[in-house]
Structure 1
């Protein structure tokens, strides 16, 4: 049994931030991170109290829900989630989706994800059990409905309350933290991954993926815009720093972590092959995302805040270190992969046609 949700943590915080402005309140990031994964009503009560909102829970729900509903159609699955669901469903392995969200909201959300509803044997909302996570009720009920002993279930979770609930149910748990700043708190899970692209089914007695093309894994394209600047050299490789623009930063999930490759466009120049390292710098006491790239087969000129378009189309591996370790092998893999049609067709993606100087 597995549990996923679409990438909505940043969207949730963004909605609340916008909502609080109506009442002249500033969002407290630490408090909101602590609330992630909790039942809506539980969160609503504490939000009203913490921010001193002149609302009842029902009034708060009526006012804020339209903000969420408007954004659900744009929500994307976390990297690797769609791949894993399709892989296991094709093999006839029973799947359950168990979320603290209200059931009718779950149905609406997954309706925007192709074939998800048909892929799950069981779908449960927090309003369908007596107690939501971190109580084990929802996972135990999902196992009962599937006719499977809880000890034979594997749960994939991105929230702390979800991990606690699954462990309390006696299930094995793979955690994919929704916030890397809290990753150290997930130690009760059996395994902790940076993203679902790192998941290896064969470690759990499940059939392995067979979708790698040579040494590259095709992924759903991720388009981002930002400013490139000189990043110095690393083991003889010329690097560029990439700082994201506001829209890209808000939409890029924390779970985009690792070594990727894709197509880069600087200003109105030609399209380059690129290797991109998405990491997190945890050394300074604050969690800061780092994005470094190198243009394959090109002598990267020193740049100072030059607009850049980037289309990520493939995954290579997880990082050996937290920040960057782009190697010659990574560049060779990217260069060879991006000559294959499964990747070259992305050159015609209309997103790369827009001017990278647009804001």
Structure 2
């Protein structure tokens, strides 16, 4: 949905929001990402204007997002882990835009207690800022990522990273991850000392 919105805005100026550009901004805070887009594509607008317009469009688009079907492989995978270990989402900006149904219908993912809160008390910092090592058990986390910046943040904090990148992302940007998979279903959790996936 981010790609749809940014391409819509960029196309007005005859520009393309490519995967090369998207890979530079994945995981960044909104203003920082906007400035990168503006600089790379030489858009005639301020970063504040780009953020304001994209956020307005995202607020219209995000409520159309749907949960995965209850019987989907990804749903079963999430249920399996929720029953056996703690799960958290140390997410960057944007969660507040998602429809309530996408966040609150099931109590699988908890706010991440191991990220550094910003001055408003939210539990994210701009990636690739390292995820905090406090509390100490945080380094026992296994991180799942799709963004190169997120991989960098987790590795900096001493965590292992399973990367499931979009097929459009350059393979050169996946080399730092502990393991790279095409699907979460391909994970062998026992390799990380976790219960085998049933």
TM-score by length of 1: 0.46
Of 18, 32, 43, 1:53 maps to 43
In proportion to residue count, which structure has more strand? 1
Of 51, 60, 72, 2:62 maps to 72
Structure 2 residues without counterparts, runs of 5 or longer = none
Could you say if the C-alpha distance between residues 110 and 183 of structure 1 is closer, same or farther in structure 2, counting changes exceeding 3 Å? farther
**How large is the Cα RMSD of the aligned pairs?**
2.9
In proportion to residue count, which structure has more helix? 2
| SS of match in other structure, 2:63 | helix
Cα drift, residue 159 of structure 1 = 0.6
1:208 corresponds to 2:196? yes
Question: Structure 1 segments of 4 or more deviating over 6 A?
Answer: none
Q: Could you say which structure has the greater relative contact order, defined with CA pairs below 8 angstroms and 6 or more residues apart? A: 2
| SS of match in other structure, 2:107 | helix
Aligned position for 1:155: 143
Report which of the two structures shows the higher radius of gyration computed on alpha carbons: 1
| SS of match in other structure, 1:155 | strand
Aligned residues: 189
Of 147, 155, 159, 1:171 maps to 159
Aligned position for 2:180: 192
Deviation per CA, 1:239-294: give whole Å up to 9, x if none: xxxxxxxxxxxxxxxxxxxxxxxxxxxxxxxxxxxxxxxxxxxxxxxxxxxxxxxx
Of 27, 32, 38, 1:42 maps to 32
TM-score by length of 2: 0.79
Structure 1 residues without counterparts, runs of 5 or longer = 1-10, 211-359
Write the distance in 2 (CA, Å) between the matches of 1:94 and 1:130: 18
Of 88, 93, 99, 1:96 maps to 88
